[in-house]
Amino acid sequence: DEDDEEDEDDEEDDGDDKDDKGEDEDEEDDEESDKDKASEDDTPKAQPPADGDWDDYFDGEEGEETRGAFCCQNGQGMGATDDADVGASCYPSSKPEPFDFCDSEDSCGGPCNGTWVVGWCALAQPEGKAEKTALCNLRMNAKGTGYNYESPVERAVMDDPCAASESDCLGCNGTWCEYIKTPFY
């Protein structure tokens, strides 16, 4: 009978040991989860647009094309196929998601190892909205590695003074156009 009682005590102890281990593991998981949450909370977010108009900044549902300034990230290689025109030749997978840490001019060049791209200047004045849309059309190239300009109009890109900003483009008697900033993989 004493042997039976000892066996029952051992079984109860084994159960207690499992509960103790389970509780310890749960506590460790909770601590790790708290660390993860703290890290997420400390991550800088993209800054809101200067005019506060988020609709212009991200104007669509998931999968829709969004245009605007973006960061072309280099990652482990080149983020674009043409250094003279990073805006059009940036690999679509080298663009950060909207509101991502790297979707900010402040973080693009440093920690994100990228090139901040603002837009381009089509060196022509459109007659109306349809013509402006035609001047600014882009189409994915056949290899899927970037975009081709659809308009034959001359354009100013990258370091050209007319492509520095919308006001500079207007000063060059041009039409300001924005690149597709939507990434895809």
CA 150 to CA 130: how far, in whole Å? 14
Residues 6+ apart with CB under 8 A from 170: 176
Helix (H, G, I), strand (E, B) or coil at 161: helix
CA 149 to CA 131: how far, in whole Å? 14
Read off the pLDDT of each residue in 64-79 and give the average, rounded to a whole number: 89
CA 26 to CA 20: how far, in whole Å? 10
Residue 56 or residue 174, greater confidence? 174
pLDDT tens for 44-65 read 334 444 444 434 444 444 557 8
Helix (H, G, I), strand (E, B) or coil at 21: helix
- Residue 162's region, left for phi above 0, alpha for psi from -120 to 50, else beta, is alpha
pLDDT tens for 104-148 read 999 999 899 999 999 999 999 888 888 888 999 999 999 999 999
Read off the pLDDT of each residue in 137-161 and give the average, rounded to a whole number: 94
Q: What is the pTM of this model?
A: 0.65
